[in-house]
Structure 1
Amino acid sequence: QVFQYIIKEFRDKTDTPELEIKDLAMEIRGYGIFANAWKLFGTEEDVKFIFVGLIQRCKQIAMPTMTLAQAVDVFDERFYGLPDLIDVLSAIIIEMTNIGEEFLGPLECLTYMTIDYYPRYQPKPQATTCLSIIKMISVLQTKPISINHFYLELLL
């Protein structure tokens, strides 16, 4: 019951409409820290449930009602937060046994946007960007089915 309460509170917090990308990254980081414990005390479905909610929320905040073509002219703090989102999502993926295609689509899009905006970052965020993308690729390599699809979509 305590575990279910924590999941509900966590989900309610991340579903807050006013949530900024920095706050979301902090929420996801918290989930990443507790993901292993949540996996032990809950089920794989609980981990997937939280991950699905997080990846959808990341997509809503990072890409609100704009296509990549429209976003080319827009550059704000959302794009500075993308490397952090990718980094903490990688920490969560480590705890998952399988990554389905429904998760890969948003991950590919967030990763592509981060790579696309790389030249616009200052030097310190560029270093963070490199590390977060390398971490994502390293984590996905432990999930062989996922990494092939991820590479294909990212390179095309």
Structure 2
Amino acid sequence: MQYVVGQSVDIHGFVTSEKFIANCSLSEIEKRLGFHQGRLMQGAAFLVLSGTPSDKDFELRGYSNVADHRFKMPSGLDVKVLKRNVKEAWEEDQTQLIKVVPRQGHNPEISDDIQYPPGHGVPQWKLTSDYKARVVAVYSPNDYVARTPYRRNHS
């Protein structure tokens, strides 16, 4: 899909808080989120959620140092309470939830362990149903080489 700044789209999958990637280059974002080196080399789009997901719209997924294919929810946790705490923190912090969409998609020919190595431990959540988001920035391969930091385009 071709993304354009200002475009409204439905998204699902992994999101994080914008503050954990702000002012980072694409190569640094790869490391923080747990994408293999070079995954964002072709560019990426950055999409901010329109609002706060309800409890039924997301799952807890810990931190980016454990990829989804390795994640196991610890036993004995009250997920309802944890989700309530997360939502309260998002609202108190005025968190902008963001999705990074690499131009280079998932490659089924490469193992998940290679494509999704341990990241730097950025909090992450998984949207389980489509959610409205707005494209706030689109980066090209030149931005990877130039180490252009992510900054939201306010247009």
Q: Judging by fraction of residues, say which structure has more helix.
A: 1
Which interval holds the TM-score relative to the shorter structure? under 0.3
TM-score normalised according to structure 2 size: 0.26
TM-score, normalisation: structure 1: 0.26
**Greater RCO, 1 or 2 (C-alpha within 8 Å, sep 6+):** 2
